[in-house]
Amino acid sequence: AQLFALTAPLITTSDGAKMGKTAGGAIWLNADKLSEYDYWQFWRNTADADVVRFLKLFTELPLEEISKLASKLDGADINKAKIVLADEATSMLHGKECLPKIHETVQTMFSTGGTSTESLPRVFVSPSDLADGGVGVLDLFVKLGLAQSKKAARRLIQGGGARLEMTKIEDEKATLTSDNFEGKTEVTLRAGKKRAGVV
C-alpha cells in the first residue's frame, strides 16, 4: 500500500504571530460558536500587510483579480481589498446569502442610516429576567461572545470600551433592566468600535 502526506507551512501574520487554535484570537468556523458577522469582521480587520497574501490563501479569487487589487492598495483601496477578502472568505464558509445582512449591519454600526442588527450575535431575556435587579452586563458580554470571561468583560469596562447602545458603561456591577429598553424590543451592547451583540 502507498501512503501520501500533505504538509503546509505554519501560517503567520506579517508581524510573525502564528495563526492557529492555540493562538490568542483564534476563531470558530461554526456559526453557533461565532456569528457570520464576527467571522466577516475577523477577515475585515486583517493587517494591511497581510491582505494580498490572505486573498491568495483563503479565497478562490483568480490570481489575476488579486493582482489587480494588489496594484492599488493605497488609502481607501486597502479597505476595499479587505472587504473583498472578508466577503470571499465568509461566503466560502457560510454562503453568499449572509453577505447582504452583514453589509447592512456594518452600515448600521459604522455609518449613519440603516437599522439592521440581524447579523449580530444575540441572547434573549424575558421580562422576568429583567425584573428584581435585572441581568448583569458582565454575564451578557460573556454570553454574546464579546468577552471570553467576566474578568475580560471587567477589563473592557475599565478600559472604556463597553457601551450600551452609545452610552459608555462605567459600572462593572451594572445591570440591564426593563428601563433600558424604553419600549424597544432589543438593545445593543458594544465591545470596542467593531464588535456588538443584541439583547
- CA torsion 197→31→55→103, rounded to 10°? -40
Mean pLDDT of the chain: 81
- φ, ψ of residue 47 to 5 degrees: the values are -60, 145
What is the CB-side half-sphere exposure of residue 135 using CA atoms within 13 A? 19
Bridge partners of residue 188, in order along the sequence: 198
**Beta strands 188-191; 167-168: pairing state:** unpaired
What is the pLDDT, as a whole number, of residue 10? Answer: 78
What is the pLDDT, as a whole number, of residue 169? Answer: 85
- Report CA torsion sign: 18, 23, 25, 30: positive
Q: Is pLDDT at 125 greater than 60 in this prediction?
A: yes
What is the pLDDT, as a whole number, of residue 113? Answer: 46
pLDDT-derived band at 2 (thresholds 50, 70, 90) equals very high
What is the pLDDT, as a whole number, of residue 90? Answer: 92
Residue 158 neighbours by CB under 8 Å, 6+ apart: 172
Residue 67 neighbours by CB under 8 Å, 6+ apart: none
Q: Is pLDDT at 48 greater than 70 in this prediction?
A: yes
- CA torsion 23→139→184→119, rounded to 10°? 20
What is the pLDDT, as a whole number, of residue 112? Answer: 47
Enter the DSSP assignment of 12: B
Calpha distance 87→68 (Å, rounded): 17
pLDDT-derived band at 88 (thresholds 50, 70, 90) equals very high
Q: Is pLDDT at 96 greater than 50 in this prediction?
A: yes
pLDDT-derived band at 141 (thresholds 50, 70, 90) equals confident
94 or 110, which is more confident?
Answer: 94
Q: Is pLDDT at 80 greater than 90 in this prediction?
A: no
